[in-house]
A and B are shown apart, each in its own frame.
Chain A
């Protein structure tokens, strides 16, 4: 099928884009990389009557360092741009490792950081990774702006706190504390497919090499990115041994996630994979944290 007709705007500034959104409200859709929106339009699952194309707004495609050793990523930074950015490789190694796992090269050349987050697919790597990294999102409308922490941004399946007149404009990622380690692991039937289950882990050790914080965020394991709260409680203050890691992975896979079953995998199989991935990712993350004084 083909997309239904729409009125097309290609603003060159954020101001201009916000004006169109304010005017058209629920009738309008924002077009970023189009790699999720256009397939849905081709199938006529969505038929916006107005499309506001962000691709000519150059002020949104930056990747910059911030004053506190963190990183600022503009909403229109392409997946490929993030993948090859030297600053990302140094300051956000988890993000750097994540990018090649997203779709294929032809999708990464168009798809954007902000588009993936706004789309809020619980199977999208960036959604879980941004929660794991404690990212903060800057949203703008004609009425002003607000900052929303990543873990409050995603409120349901493909649903965020974004209002129809709001744009996600940038993401702030804090610097990782010392003695921190990271890991992203997933199982997909083919390398670039959406994962059956995956997990992003970020851990920090204290001066005595005990676990100060362990954050695991699962993808494809519920309607939103699933934060493993109980596993984190279990690990806090513990030495990261084989046993403590094994116990945390068990709890995460049995109590912290809520995967569904579909033609690709049953819920039970997803829980099994989550358990194995949680264990392996914690092992890798703690190992990296220990080497990262």
Chain B
């Protein structure tokens, strides 16, 4: 069944126009159609959080959204947060506080944290742990992630 849909979406401030099939997930569109492989895919049923991106500024699971549903909207992926030479303060903090090991979970955690830290500039440890509770990490045991979030909050307040 070929029924292509003309999709126009802004990803990381760049406008993309592509003909896509409606059953293509946003996660697959980002990775395969426009080559943004920073968004990871773990479980494809909403549990692991690796695929989290920002949809009009709100964190969402890109594995639980069809690409066609982003028509006319804005998506931000981990590639849109900072550059190698100019890291986002949250990325800087994860680097400095060892908030990652293999890095598989990291893009989803970073995108989850952007709106969280903007709305909660001085979060408690309990609030931080609740904020990342939808993101599974198999490596760090979370402690260094929590440390990194505290450091990121400090940097963002400064």
By a beta-carbon cutoff of 8 Å, the part of chain A in contact with chain B is 1-8, 10, 34-35, 38-39, 41-43, 51, 53, 55, 80, 103-107, 109-110, 190-192
Contacts and interface: CB of A to CB of B under 8 A. Distances in A.
Contact of B22 (A7, A105, A110, A191): A7
B62 to A, nearest CB: 10
21 contacts: A3-B23, A5-B1, A5-B21, A6-B22, A7-B3, A8-B68, A34-B64, A35-B46, A35-B61, A35-B64, A38-B63, A41-B23, A42-B44, A51-B22, A104-B134, A105-B59, A105-B134, A109-B58, A110-B61, A110-B65, A192-B134
Given A3-B23, A42-B25, A104 B49 contact: yes
A105 B112 contact: yes
Interface string B12-38: 000000000111010010000000000
B60 interface: yes
B58 A5 contact: no
Interface string B60-80: 110111101101000000000
Contact of A106 (B1, B5, B22, B59): B59
Contacts of A38: 25, 46, 63-66
B39 interface: no
B102 interface: no
Contacts of B55: 109
Chain A binding surface SS class:
loop
Given A7-B3, A53-B69, 19 more contacts: A5-B21, A5-B23, A8-B22, A8-B68, A10-B69, A10-B71, A34-B66, A34-B69, A35-B46, A38-B65, A39-B46, A42-B45, A105-B116, A105-B131, A106-B59, A106-B61, A107-B61, A109-B58, A110-B61
A1 B63 CA distance: 11
B140 interface: no
A39 B22 contact: no
Nearest to B68: A8
Interface of B: 1, 3, 5, 21-23, 25, 28, 44-46, 49, 52, 55, 58-61, 63-66, 68-69, 71, 112, 116, 130-131, 133-134
A106 B65 contact: no
B58 A80 contact: yes
Given A4-B23, A8-B5, A191 B130 contact: yes
A28 to B, nearest CB: 13
Contact of B69 (A42, A55, A105, A107): A55
Contacts of A104: 49, 133-134
Nearest to A47: B23
**The 7 A-B residue pairs with the shortest CB-CB distance in the complex, in nearest-first order:** A104-B134, A8-B22, A39-B45, A109-B58, A38-B64, A5-B1, A106-B59
Contact of A34 (B1, B49, B65, B130): B65
Given A6-B22, A8-B3, A110-B65, A1 B44 contact: yes
A110 to B, nearest CB: 6
Nearest to A55: B69
A1 B69 CA distance: 20
Contact of A110 (B23, B49, B60, B133): B60
Contacts of A109: 55, 58-60
B131 A39 contact: no
A5 B22 contact: yes
B28 A106 contact: no
Contacts of A103: 134
Which of B3, B52, B64: most chain A Cβ within 10 A? Answer: B64
A39 B55 CA distance: 19
Given A39-B45, A106-B59, A191 B64 contact: no
Nearest to B55: A109
